[in-house]
Amino acid sequence: MKPNIPRIISVTSGKGGVGKTNFVTNIAIVFKTLQKKVLLMDADIGLSNIDIMFGVAPKFNIKHVLSGEKSLKDIVLNTSYGVDIIPASSGIKELTNLTLEGKVKIIEELEQINDTYDIFLIDTAAGISDNVVFFCSAAHDVVVIVTSEPTSIADAYALIKVLHKEYGEKSFRVVVNNVKELKEGRETFRKLSMVAERFLGVNLDFVGYLPYDEKIKEAIIAQKPYISLYPTNEFSKKLTEIAKQILKKEVNLVKGGVQFFLKKALSFNP
């Protein structure tokens, strides 16, 4: 039987607070409704947020895997939304920069549960830290979330630059979040793609925009994923289109998979 190889989708932004965690939480549920088995990893390893978004309080987290107390499959949490999560730990500064041993351990452990999932969705931390670069350079799809604020565009560009120049990443998929007017989405993408093309020779792929919606804050406060509360609102509709758009693009899963992840990870840790 052909082994199952999950598609690894990393979500990142450069700047913090642009909506990554809210995006992954909700798109994980969209993928599930599209019949995909999803594992969502909170890769903001020192500051856990995904568990809060889903309203769960995990007993064990990635810290217990890294210390060898638990295996990854023991800490995977099944949520009532049909999405499984790997919780991060909170307030552990050392984990904001994983050691090589830590990275290898995570990869090996992920490989153990490879067969169970169609999609590994990774919510990264803000910035261009070693952890962020590690998870992004190993993914099949790097989804960059950006807003119209110039600081967000500048930070997204800086992240793309590092991933491209230092790790040879060529493909980036862009989502514009917090859009208040239709043209804001296109215009923001245009600005980012123009600099990426001019200075890096990289063509960015626009996968869609998401509207600004006050109710997102309410959903987070209620610790319920927005899409479960408002499945027919504009944000949810657009998110569904984005999920389909992401999956539409074929990626080479034969060459990918967790083994590939391992090779790439080790290649930039000589």
Ligand X SMILES: Nc1ncnc2c1ncn2[C@@H]1O[C@H](COP(=O)(O)OP(=O)(O)O)[C@@H](O)[C@H]1O
Among 47, 92, 200, 220, binds ligand X (CB under 6 A): 220
Site for ligand X in 100-159 (CB under 6 A): 126
Rounded-to-integer distance, Cα 257 and Cα 269, Å: 19
Rounded-to-integer distance, Cα 221 and Cα 111, Å: 34
Q: Is 178 in the site for ligand X (CB under 6 A)?
A: yes
Among 10, 12, 13, 21, binds Mg ion (CB under 5 A): 21
Residue with tokens 């925009």: 209
Q: Is 12 in the site for ligand X (CB under 6 A)?
A: no
Enumerate residues 6+ apart whose C-beta is below 8 A from 251.
Answer: 7, 140, 141
Enumerate residues 6+ apart whose C-beta is below 8 A from 242.
Answer: 27, 175, 207, 208, 210
Q: Is 52 in the site for ligand X (CB under 6 A)?
A: no
Q: Is 240 in the site for Mg ion (CB under 5 A)?
A: no
Rounded-to-integer distance, Cα 85 and Cα 62, Å: 11
Element (H, E) at 28: helix 20-33
Element (H, E) at 256: none
Q: Is 10 in the site for Mg ion (CB under 5 A)?
A: no
118 vs 123, which CB is nearer to ligand X? 123
Q: Is 124 in the site for Mg ion (CB under 5 A)?
A: no
Among 10, 48, 177, 193, binds ligand X (CB under 6 A): 177
Enumerate residues 6+ apart whose C-beta is below 8 A from 153.
Answer: 146, 188, 191, 192
Q: Which of these ranges, 79-87, 164-172, 184-192, 214-222, lies near ligand X under the rule CB under 6 A?
A: 214-222
Q: CB 45 → Mg ion: shortest distance, Å?
A: 12
Q: Is 18 in the site for ligand X (CB under 6 A)?
A: yes
20 vs 32, which CB is nearer to Mg ion? 20
Q: What is the arrangement of strands in the sheet containing 7-12, beginning at the earlier edge strand?
A: 77-78, 84-86, 38-43, 119-124, 7-12, 141-146, 172-179, 204-211
Q: Is 217 in the site for ligand X (CB under 6 A)?
A: yes
Q: CB 197 → ligand X: shortest distance, Å?
A: 25
Element (H, E) at 142: strand 141-146
Q: Is 21 in the site for ligand X (CB under 6 A)?
A: yes
Q: Is 212 in the site for ligand X (CB under 6 A)?
A: yes
Positions in the binding site for ligand X (CB under 6 A)? 13, 16-22, 126, 177-178, 210, 212-213, 216-217, 220
Positions in the binding site for Mg ion (CB under 5 A)? 20-21
